[in-house]
Amino acid sequence: MKTTLDELLAFVTVADTGSITAASVQLGQTVSGTSRSLARLEEKLATTLLRRTTRRIELTEEGHSFLLRAREILGAVEAAEEQMAARRERPAGRLRVDAATPFMLHVVVPLVGGYRERHPEVALELNSNEGIIDLLEHRTDLALRIGRLKDSSLHARAIGSSRIRVLASPEYLARHGEPRRVAALGDPRAGHVLLGFTQPESLNEWPLRDADGAPLHVQPQVRASSGETLRQLALAGEGIVCLSDFMTREDRRSGRLVQLFARQTVEVRQPINAVYYRNTALSSRITSFVDYLRETLDDTGFED
């Protein structure tokens, strides 16, 4: 066989990312090294696989056809390696996990030590993105997602759910007073500052009822893309926030944040799922990580 696995991997990564530079970063190579791998592959195949434009690299018709076979070959090699590891009953290899920053910091990071102790041959790569990413493009094996799932191309395993609450710091309440009525949250005259999300807008629907009995949709004066940013703003006394229990449990226990409208709060839980592509075999690495999450969170939970 003339073609090497390194050349196939370089080609697939460039096709997924649309950029030699981005592919080089993912592969841990120099741009020139990745470019040379592509050139060698095209020379061996005596065909052009990629068309380079000023904005993006695009696949030729031959490139599209070869990409399917390249994925099959790399997948077969990976499956063979995983089979050997499974025969030793020890998951091994790299596992790329993606989660929003708050979930990564407050749930995943505290569990890494225990997981690594149990599965030392798995090399974890933890990445944080606040929005929904394309797992294939980002070369991600597993994503931990909060909220309802929309992508039907994904397999999902539920790992729990987390309640949301309206919170503020004692410092904020000392300066602005505690709102007594839900209507005060939407009344500029009440002088309250609401902290919310830039997107999706559905995250600005709080577990309270408005005057018509519908879920309360707020218009935040300060918005952020990350729940962790909003948590830090709330801790600094900058406003009232609505966040999930998994990131505020210790804050509420210590009194750094206190719940508002406890009696009026409707119980709303955000589902938390581990997701991966339907056309990807569930490897022992993914299974071991999801099983450990579910087992550990069954013991500790997301609540007080």
| 190 token code pair | 């009440």
Q: Which pLDDT value is given to residue 86?
A: 60
Q: Which 3 state secondary structure label does DSSP give 275?
A: strand
Domain boundary among 37, 66, 86: 86
Chain mean position to CA 274: 9
Identity of the residue numbered 258? V
Give the model confidence (pLDDT) of 141-165 as tens digits: 888 988 877 755 677 888 989 999 9
Give the model confidence (pLDDT) of 164-215 as tens digits: 999 999 999 999 999 999 999 988 888 999 999 998 888 999 999 988 888 8
214, 258: one domain: yes
Peptide bond preceding 110 in cis form (omega within 30 of 0): no
212, 185: one domain: yes
More confident residue, 243 or 148: 243
Q: For residue 57, what is the domain's CATH number?
A: 1.10.10.10
Q: Which 3 state secondary structure label does DSSP give 200?
A: coil
Q: Which pLDDT value is given to residue 195?
A: 97
Q: For residue 101, what is the domain's CATH number?
A: 3.40.190.10
| Range of the structural domain that residue 102 is part of | 90-161+270-300
74, 202: one domain: no
Domain boundary among 53, 70, 86: 86
Residue 110 burial (C-beta neighbours within 10 Å; 0-12, 13-18, 19+)? exposed
CA dist 235 and 172 (Å) reads 9
173, 262: one domain: yes
- The answer to whether residue 227 scores a pLDDT higher than 60 is yes
70, 12 in Cβ contact below 8 A? yes
Give the model confidence (pLDDT) of 32-70 as tens digits: 999 999 899 888 888 999 888 767 788 899 989 999 999
CA dist 135 and 141 (Å) reads 7
14, 57 in Cβ contact below 8 A? yes
114, 183: one domain: no
Residues forming beta bridges with residue 245, ordered by sequence position: none
Nearest in space to 99 (alpha carbons), one of 231, 293, 298: 293
261, 285: one domain: no
Q: Which pLDDT value is given to residue 58?
A: 86
Nearest in space to 186 (alpha carbons), one of 211, 157, 219, 153: 219
CA dist 170 and 273 (Å) reads 33
Number of domains in the chain: 3
Query: Which range (94-98, 112-116, 203-207) has the least confidence?
Result: 94-98
Give the model confidence (pLDDT) of 251-275 as tens digits: 999 999 999 999 999 999 989 999 8
The pTM score is 0.67
| 1 token code pair | 């066989």
62, 101: one domain: no
52, 99: one domain: no
Domain boundary among 86, 107, 130: 86
Q: Which pLDDT value is given to residue 81?
A: 75
166, 241: one domain: yes
123, 260: one domain: no
100, 195: one domain: no
Give the model confidence (pLDDT) of 67-88 as tens digits: 999 988 888 888 777 766 665 5
Per-residue H/E/C for 149-170: CCCCCEEEEEEEEEEEEEEECH
111, 296 in Cβ contact below 8 A? yes
- Say what percent of the chain tops pLDDT 70: 88
Q: How far is CA 128 from CA 54, 67, 99, 195, in A?
A: 29, 28, 5, 22
Q: Which pLDDT value is given to residue 186?
A: 84
Q: How far is CA 34 from CA 4, 9, 233, in A?
A: 13, 10, 43
CA dist 20 and 280 (Å) reads 25
197, 228: one domain: yes
